[in-house]
Amino acid sequence: MRKNCAGFLPVLCLASVSWLGAQKAATAPPGNADCLACHGASGSAAELLRISETSLAGSVHGGLRCVECHSFEPVKTASGPPHPRTIPPPDCTASCHRQETPGPLAYRDSVHGRAYLERGAKEVARCWDCHGKHNTRPASDPESPVNRRNIPLMCSACHEDMGVVTKYNIHREQPYHEYLKSVHGRALLEKGLVEFAAVCTDCHGVHNIRGVGEPHLMAKQPETCGRCHKQVFDEYKDSIHGAQAMAGNVESPLCVDCHGEHDIVPPGEGGAPTSAENIPDTCSGCHARPDIMKKYGVPENRISTFIDSLHGIAVGFGYRAAANCSSCHGVHDIRPASDPRSKVNPANLRATCGQPNCHPNMPARIAEAKIHIGPGEPGSGALGAVQKILIILVLVLLGITILWFVPGFIRRARLLGKK
């Protein structure tokens, strides 16, 4: 009897192990081969639900199992898929990609993340819309959608879709086409300066992109431009405009107010808001507004008096060598006239007017003459006297013309009547 029992025990153990293995296999999550049996290139799933095994194996997630991203409770059915018809979308930050700001976790508080996670917007950008789905590649890979060279085109998939632009009231309709013509776009796509040319994520952020109406928008902050244009930023932040902007004054002009946003072009090009002929119009955006000028104690006629000056008339006729606002006041280093470092401080006017391409060797007395003053204003001096003389002459000539013409006209009318 003991011999029989002794012989039965190994068989019982093997049977138990086999049963446990079968139970474990029945409850174990499916492997990639199981998923690809349906979702592979030649699988039975609908064409839109098939993936390329080659792309998956070559992606950064090639070593993961499908169920690590696509979690679901298995469904036991006689036919059909072993999972629910609808599977929740992946949560890339559930167990992976847990980096804080500006990492993937910042997405939840971004303009895209809030629209998707809080409001359920379907057209908003999600992880796989930018990084790819089963073909996700590292950003260093030239084929990756988030490679620096490809980022502008990748963003344009949504931001130049008029259905999306209209539905979500996006304030720019063709940012990609504007970018292509800009100094940044040409540097990236024509000159190949991939590591130096600014792309969308450099200005707007990566996972932490904010909406246009939100405060402290990264794309409008001078510090953002200063990461590339450091010397210019150092000059700007010490200027009257920059000091006010850095102190939080929302009315102070920022880089984008003068240079534009996606369509920034060099000042030497005619269409640039900072070109010689367009600078007065650009400055007038603030300096022709009585409410802002009155608030900061700046005379309201700075633009109108410039336009009426010899310099303004020359600029109006397209003479690019004529002095414009920045010729006298500076570019990024503009300061009030009371500042000893200002180019229009009385002590510096002769040097400012006497620049090599303006009026070399200009006498100090002439350099001190007032520019922004209308002929009818107090202190206009000879300019006001000349205007009065010209007005008197015009009135006298008009009176003489009337006195000479009216009688002659009456005489001719009478002669014609007699005939």
Query: Residues 154-169: pLDDT tens digits?
Result: 999 999 999 999 998 8
The tokens for 113 are: 């993340």
3-state secondary structure labels for all residues of 257-310: HHHCCCCCCCCCCCCCCCCCCCHHHHHHHHHCCHHHHHHCCCCCCHHHHHHHCH
Position 409 scores a pLDDT of 82
Cα distances from 185 to residues 67, 179, 188, 196, 273, in angstroms, run 40, 5, 5, 11, 18
- Whether 81 has a pLDDT exceeding 70, the answer reads yes
Kindly report the number of other CB atoms within 10 A of residue 202's CB atom. 18
> What mean pLDDT comes out for the span 283-311?
91
The pLDDT value given to residue 145: 96
Q: How far apart are CA 139 and CA 130, in angstroms?
A: 11
Question: Does the pLDDT of residue 2 top 50, yes or no?
Answer: no
Q: What confidence tier does 278 reach under pLDDT thresholds 50, 70, 90?
A: very high
pTM of the model: 0.80
What pLDDT is recorded for position 86? 87
Would you give the distance in Å from CA 218 to the centre of its chain? Answer: 9
How far apart, in whole angstroms, are the C-alpha atoms of residue 182 and residue 55?
35
> What is the distance between the alpha carbons of residues 348 and 371, in angstroms, rounded to a whole number?
15
Residue 19 pLDDT greater than 60, yes or no: no
Residue 381 vs residue 160, higher pLDDT: 160
Q: Predicted confidence band at 228 (pLDDT cuts at 50, 70, 90)?
A: very high
What is the C-alpha separation between 186 and 265, in angstroms, rounded?
Answer: 10
User: Does residue 49 register a pLDDT over 50?
Assistant: yes
Identify the pLDDT of residue 235. 97
Pick the more confident residue, 389 or 153: 153
**4-13, 153-162, 215-224, 319-328: the lowest-pLDDT one:** 4-13
- Single out the residue of 106, 114, 133 nearest to residue 48, CA to CA: 133
Q: Which amino acid is at 43?
A: G
DSSP state, residue 415: H
Judged on CB neighbours under 10 Å (0-12, 13-18, 19+), 50 is: middle
Return the H-helix or E-strand segment holding 183: helix 183-189
**Whether the bond into 102 is cis, omega within 30 of 0:** yes
pLDDT tens profile 254-267: 999 999 999 999 99
pLDDT bucket at 214, cuts 50 / 70 / 90: confident
Q: pLDDT tier at 378 (50, 70, 90 boundaries)?
A: low
Give the pLDDT of residue 216: 82
DSSP 81: -
**Residue type at position 87:** I
Pick the more confident residue, 408 or 38: 38
